[in-house]
Amino acid sequence: MFHDRTQAGRVLGRLVATSVTDQPLIVLALPRGGVPVGFEVAKATHAAVFDIFLVRKLGVPGQEELAFGAIASGGTRVLNRTVIGQSGIDDETIEQVTEEERAELERRERLYREGRPSLDLRDRTVVLVDDGLATGATMLAAVQAARLQNPKDVIVAVPVASHEARKDLSRVADQVICAEVPHHFSAVGCWYRDFDQITDREVRDLLGRFRTPSNTPHNALQTPG
């Protein structure tokens, strides 16, 4: 069990630093919970860039923590047909939840990026970070969306993951790095003593703290035009 996301990020950061030799790295965190973790990973690996990668989980109505899919910037949507079938979700509900989450994704895009363009990931080694993987649907959407930009490698890094999620992500990512893969996995929050929700202000603060003159390669990685 981790104390909080910061401590988990430090543990994960050491693992990533020893497992990934390719440089420079682009570390992209999934807001909001992945940002404190990603911040520590970026520091530990001396990443050229630390930024966000926007993905929204599509939660089963009434059981929002159970994801039946996810959407990512650029219009990527991933659906878990097994969960959809078991939960009895109809097409109308799928579209309604998707539209609601798309609106939130666009809001966060405006809030967190503050006018900055998206990054150019072509031929770069990208590390996608979250605070944990339960079903893995959100991270799966992130990997698939990142792939559309033709990066050199896409690496998934999380402090804790279920066996099923790690297995699923291993099929689509070039590498999956997990600090803990418990035999009995219930929910990501069960593996943290402090799992309070991360605020928008905290996300913006951590992004701002990493953007210093010593990290100016960020500008060279922005998508032209």
CA separation (Å) from 122 to 59, 199, 221?
31, 31, 9
Report the percent of the chain where pLDDT is more than 70. 94
Compute the distance between CA of residue 51 and CA of residue 118 in angstroms, rounded to an integer: 9
Domains of the chain from N-terminus onward: 5-211 (3.40.50.2020)
Cβ neighbours of residue 1 closer than 8 Å, sequence gap 6 or more: 191, 192, 193
User: pLDDT at residue 207 above 50?
Assistant: yes
pLDDT band at 217; cut points 50, 70, 90 = very low
pLDDT digits (tens, 9 = 90+) for 75-90: 788 888 999 999 999 9
pTM: 0.83
Task: For the chain, give the mean pLDDT.
Answer: 89
User: pLDDT at residue 225 above 60?
Assistant: no
In the 8-state DSSP scheme, what is residue 114?
Answer: T
